[in-house]
Amino acid sequence: MFARAAIPAGTHILDYKGRLITHARADRVYGDGAESGHTFLFALNRRYIVDATVGGNAARWINHSCTPNCQAVIVHHADGNPRRDRIVIEALRDIAPGEELTYNYGIVLDVRHTTRLKKLWACHCGSPACTGTLLQPKY
């Protein structure tokens, strides 16, 4: 997805939208996530995942980059209802027209990073600082 106009740093570009499903349901429907490598799932909070396969918007087409110009921020709703939390895509810096929008997917898998998983989640973002993988270090 590419910027059609200049976007100043800090701009709220759009929300990552889709149906809300529980983590357990996502595992049933899509496997444990470690299997496919490519889904439109975004962990919203401890209870829910946003599944952009259904009811998703353009945010699902934003690619990962190791040196992104956007970030995905979870905005917790003031009333504490986990269904009302949002995922907001924000510009990290000024973005020029024609630039591709990217953010770091921040994929953290609980399982061991096997050769197969590393291949599945290989990064080809083209950044000089590319780590070669979408998988982030475990905390």
Which residues form the interface with Zn ion (CB under 5 A)? Answer: 66, 123, 125, 130
109 vs 130 by CB, closer to Zn ion: 130
Burial class (CB in 10 A: 0-12, 13-18, 19+), 139: exposed
Supply the minimum distance, in Å, between the C-beta of residue 71 and Zn ion: 15
- Across-strand partners of 75? 86
Q: One-letter amino acid identity for 67?
A: T
Supply the minimum distance, in Å, between the C-beta of residue 17 and Zn ion: 25
Supply the minimum distance, in Å, between the C-beta of residue 128 and Zn ion: 10
Distance in angstroms (rounded) separating the CA atoms of residues 46 and 112 = 21
Burial class (CB in 10 A: 0-12, 13-18, 19+), 90: middle
Supply the minimum distance, in Å, between the C-beta of residue 61 and Zn ion: 17
The dihedral over CA atoms of 76, 82, 84, 88, expressed in degrees to the nearest 10, equals 40
66 vs 117 by CB, closer to Zn ion: 66
87 vs 123 by CB, closer to Zn ion: 123
18 vs 68 by CB, closer to Zn ion: 68
